[in-house]
């Protein structure tokens, strides 16, 4: 079964006819040539395909494209503006937050979405009472970034980069 949908990806509108079984990840990569979201597991376990869907971070492999009709999708390609890196991307450069770069587009999208969640007062499982205003210390960053695997093990610097990005966005 096929459906006609419209995806808005990094500010550009794409009318698409998709098999309803197509994931958002496959639609982005194979239909639109937007290849920054990576397929690390295709099962929602690695986070390499993390993109922002209407501002929220999601695993592209766990969402069907047909369910994103009319939605705004932002990937690592679309984070920066006017040739400038997004502050989170800049922080990853400044603090050597990655090595092979395969998980990185997902990490930066995840970090951008995560900082929004913190700003909106969302709780985490890092152990604080839910009612507390989130304080983004390293334990919180580690917990909140714990949907994105990095096999190069750049976590020490990812945590530093996210902390730095938070400082900039303050």
Partner 1 sequence: MSARMFGAPVQRTEDERLLTGRGAYLDDLGADAYAAVFVRSPHAHARVRDVDVTDALDVDGLIAVYTHEDLTGPMAEPLPLLLPHPCIVDGRTPHALAAGYVHHVGAPVAMVVARDRYLAEDAAERIAVDYEVLAPVVGIEAAVAAEHVVHAGMSDNVAAHLVQEVGDARAAIAAAPHRLELDLDIERSACTPMEGRGVYARWDEAGGSLRLYSSTQTASGVRAAVAAKLGLDVGRVEVVVPDVGGGFGVKIMHPWPEEVMVPWAARRLGHGVKWTEDRREHFIAAAHERGQRHTVRAGFDDEGRLLGLDVEILHDNGAYLPYGVIVPIVTSTQLLGPYKPGAYRVEFRSLYTTTVIVTPYRGAGRPQGVFAMERTMDAIADRLGRDRAEVREVNLIRPDEMPYDQGLLFQDGRPLVYDSGDYPRTLRMVKELIGWEGFAAERERARAEGRRIGIGLACYVEGTGPGPYEGGHVQVGTDGRVRVATGLTSQGQGHHTILAQIVADELGVAMSDVEVTTGDTRRMPYSVGTFASRGAVMSGSAVALAARKVREKALRVAADALEADPGDLEIAGGRVHVRGVPGAGMDLGTVAVLSNPLRYAFDEASRAATQFARPADHAAPPVPEGDAPGLEGTDFHSPLRSTFANGAHAVVVETDPETAEITILRYCVVHDCGRLVNPLIVEGQIHGGVAQGVAGALYERMAYDADGQLLNASFMDFLVPYASEIPPIRIAHLETPSPLNPLGVKGAGEAGVIPGAAVIASAIEDAEGFPVRSMPISPSDLFGLRRRFAAGEIPPLRRAERARGRRANETGEPDV
Residues 23-52 that bind partner 1 (CB under 8 A): 29-30, 33-36, 38-43, 45-46, 48
Task: State the SS3 of 98-136.
Answer: CCCCCCHHHHHHHHHHHHHHHHCCCCCCCCCCCCCCCCC
Helical pair 104-119 and 155-169, crossing angle rounded to 10 deg: 40
* Residue 149 lies near partner 1 (rule: CB under 8 A): yes
Query: Edge to edge, what strands does the sheet with 12-19 contain?
Result: 12-19, 2-9, 72-74, 50-53, 56-59
Q: Min. distance of Cβ 134 from partner 1 in angstroms?
A: 16
Q: Min. distance of Cβ 166 from partner 1 in angstroms?
A: 15
31-52 burial string, b = 16+ CB within 10 Å, else e?
ebebebbbbbebeeebbbbbbb
- With CB under 8 A as the contact rule, the residue among 99, 116, 123, 169 that binds partner 1 is 99
* Residue 79 lies near partner 1 (rule: CB under 8 A): yes
- Supply angle C-alpha 142, 143, 146, rounded to 5: 85
- With CB under 8 A as the contact rule, the residue among 3, 14, 85, 123 that binds partner 1 is 85
Residues 7-26 that bind partner 1 (CB under 8 A): 19
Only one of the segments 63-71, 115-123, 129-137, 148-156 lies at the binding site for partner 1 (rule: CB under 8 A); that segment is 148-156
Chain residues binding partner 1 by CB under 8 A are 19, 29-30, 33-36, 38-43, 45-46, 48, 75-77, 79-80, 85, 89, 92-94, 96, 98-105, 108, 138, 141-143, 145-159
């Amino acid at each position: 079964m096929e459906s006609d949908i419209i995806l808005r990806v990094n500010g550009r509108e794409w009318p698409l006819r998709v098999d309803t079984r197509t994931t958002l990840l496959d639609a982005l990569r194979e239909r639109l040539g937007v290849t920054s979201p990576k397929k690390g597991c295709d099962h929602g376990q690695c986070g390499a395909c993390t993109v922002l869907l209407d501002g929220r971070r999601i695993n592209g492999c766990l969402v069907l494209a047909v369910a994103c009709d009319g939605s705004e999708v932002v990937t690592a390609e679309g984070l920066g503006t006017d040739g400038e890196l997004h502050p989170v991307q800049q922080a990853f450069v400044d603090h050597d937050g990655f090595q092979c770069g395969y998980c990185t587009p997902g990490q930066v999208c995840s970090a951008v979405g995560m900082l929004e969640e913190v700003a909106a007062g969302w709780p985490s499982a890092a152990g604080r009472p839910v009612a507390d205003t989130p304080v983004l210390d390293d334990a919180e960053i580690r917990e909140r970034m714990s949907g994105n695997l990095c096999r190069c093990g750049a976590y020490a610097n990812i945590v530093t980069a996210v902390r730095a990005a938070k400082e900039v966005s303050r």
